[in-house]
Amino acid sequence: MKITVVIPVYNENKTIDEIIRRVSATKMATEILVVDDGSTDGTREILSRLEREKGIRIILHEKNQGKGAAVRTGIQNATQDIVLIQDADLEYNPKDYPALLKPIQEGIADVVYGSRFLGGSRRPILFWNMIANKLLTFMTNILYNNILSDMETGYKVFKRSIFKDIKLRSNRFDFEPEFTAKILKRHIRIFEVPITFNPRDYSEGKKIHMGDAFAAVWALIKYRFVD
């Protein structure tokens, strides 16, 4: 399969070089597309160097708009058949790509989620973030009659063709519930696989906050009834 790996990034000068190295090392990405969402910490200068050295594609947002906006830009500009979303903060390991892609390769799924709660190895921190994730997933399952284990996962892989008729609008972390809601409402085939997870804490630069959970709740309710 031909794969575009979309990497949304905002102020990740400590990790962007390493995540691109790891993605390249898999030798599975036909295209690496980095969307810089208005970084001001030197990330752009690093990307400029990597673009020359590794042939990656760079798209720049002139001002910070949010992760959802960066991912939407990536999806809109992807050129390959399969899109894989890869966060830039090293929480998710590209060594999981074969497992993420296998359900699509076998023809049993159009979308694959990498679940942090299906028994994969992980760093055990941030209890309340885990509780928030589980509650949001529980709410998703009630509203959309499903049995997902990890709606908020950053690892989402999908056939680019399914978004020809689906418009995504979210600019921030409410992208995850909007994406999931629109997939489930259309009964698009979805599959979950376990992944490894190495979360960072807030002292290490983690950006999502509890306030984003309330935006996710509103998005789940809103997109249940509107499109």
Domain boundaries, the chain: 3-225
Q: What is the DSSP string of 32-76?
A: EEEEEES--SSHHHHHHHHHHHH--EEEEESS---HHHHHHHHHH
Within 13 Å of residue 59, how many CA atoms lie on the same side as its CB? 18
pLDDT value of position 192: 98
pLDDT value of position 199: 83
pLDDT value of position 53: 80
Q: Output the tens digit of pLDDT for each of the chain's 227 residues.
A: 899 999 999 999 999 999 999 999 999 999 999 999 999 999 999 999 998 887 799 999 999 999 999 999 999 999 999 999 999 999 999 999 999 999 999 999 999 999 999 988 877 777 888 888 899 999 999 999 999 999 999 999 999 999 888 899 999 888 999 999 999 999 999 999 999 999 877 666 666 666 778 889 999 999 999 88
Residues 84, 26: contact at Cβ < 8 Å?
no
pLDDT value of position 127: 84
Give the integer Cα–Cα distance in Å for 157 and 104: 9
Within 13 Å of residue 87, how many CA atoms lie on the same side as its CB? 24
Residue 127 contacts by C-beta under 8 Å, 6 or more apart in sequence?
A: none
Residues 191, 158: contact at Cβ < 8 Å?
no
pLDDT value of position 209: 65
pLDDT value of position 204: 66
Phi/psi-derived region of residue 56, left when phi > 0, alpha when psi is between -120 and 50, beta in every other case: beta
Q: What is the DSSP string of 86-117?
A: --SSSSB-GGGHHHHHHHHHTTS-SEEEEETT
Residue 75 contacts by C-beta under 8 Å, 6 or more apart in sequence?
A: 6, 83, 160, 163, 168
Phi and psi at residue 32, to the nearest 5°: -110, 115
DSSP state of 128: H
Give the integer Cα–Cα distance in Å for 186 and 85: 21
pLDDT value of position 96: 97
At residue 198, the 3 state secondary structure works out as coil
pLDDT value of position 210: 67
pTM of the model: 0.92
Give the integer Cα–Cα distance in Å for 201 and 126: 7
Tokens of 227: 């499109």
For 3-225, which CATH superfamily applies? Spore Coat Polysaccharide Biosynthesis Protein SpsA; Chain A (3.90.550.10)
Tokens of 160: 């680019």
